Amino acid sequence: MKKVFVLVIVLMMSTYLVGCFYPEEERVQNQVPYPEQLELVRSAVERFQEDSGVLPIKTFEDSTSLYQRYQIDFNQLVPRYLQEPPGTAFESGGVYTYVLWNVDEEPEVKLIDLTTMRDIQEMQQKLNDYRNRHSYAPVAEVLNHGLFKLDYEALGYSEEPYVKSPYYDTFLPILLTNDWEIIIDYQIDLNIALEEHDGQFEPGDDIREILIANSPFVPNRSIPYTIDENGEPIYNYEGES
């Protein structure tokens, strides 16, 4: 009986220690964007704006992507409007950046998924190193004006790398722009979204709106997309994201 008791204690301690040493960014509570967390932040932002007349956002440069531009500054919300940033927020060791969308009308709290950033940064470094050695990018295919598919083997990959989508159970390709920026190709997800949701789009419209309207995420590292005459998603890249 004593041996059984000791074994139970050992197992309990092992579980506790695993929890202590498990990286913050990998813990489940730091990965799942609970709806109540989004609503809590939205309410805090609304009360802050009512009191101050401005939004609690970080300073941004004009060149910042529209989807990354209005990052919430939790320092302005804590502790008066929030006790602390949500556990899923980057500021708390989570894997999401909290941003505002639709700021000119009714600000909505959205998320940028940061889980892909390590892979993107690693590839960007490999690309920069290649560029320093060769003065050009290892392009395998030209997909659109200013948009390219990379020769991944030239960058040291044994197979083409993909990143996990925040929208669907899909893995998305990685592309290169003529500004030497690594971006994520959301065309697969846009195909699914257009089939699942009723989007009233015309050729020339930015159809990324359909992803934002039906999920808590904004597309990170993305370029504009529109539809062709058949309603299929196509690239609409002209050097701006």
> Which DSSP string corresponds to 134-163?
HSS--EEEEEETTEEEE-TGGGT-SS--EE
Instruction: Express each pLDDT in 172-181 by its tens digit.
Output: 999 999 888 9
Q: What is the pLDDT of residue 6?
A: 39
- pTM for the whole thing? 0.82
pLDDT for residue 134 is more than 60? yes
Which residues, at least 6 apart from 218, have a Cβ–Cβ distance to it below 8 Å?
67, 68, 99, 101, 110, 111, 112, 211, 212
How far apart CA 189 and CA 208 sit, in angstroms, is: 10
Higher pLDDT, 24 or 104: 104
Compute CA 209 distance to the chain's CA centroid, rounded to the nearest angstrom: 15
Confidence at residue 32, expressed as pLDDT on a 0 to 100 scale: 60
Mean pLDDT across 111-116: 93
Going from N- to C-terminal start, the domains of the chain cover 21-113, 117-235
Per-residue pLDDT reduced to its tens digit, 145-175? 789 999 999 999 999 999 999 999 999 999 9
CB atoms within 10 A of CB 99: 23
Cβ pair 57, 72 in contact under 8 A? yes
> Which residue stretches of the chain are H helix?
2-21, 35-52, 117-134, 187-196, 209-213
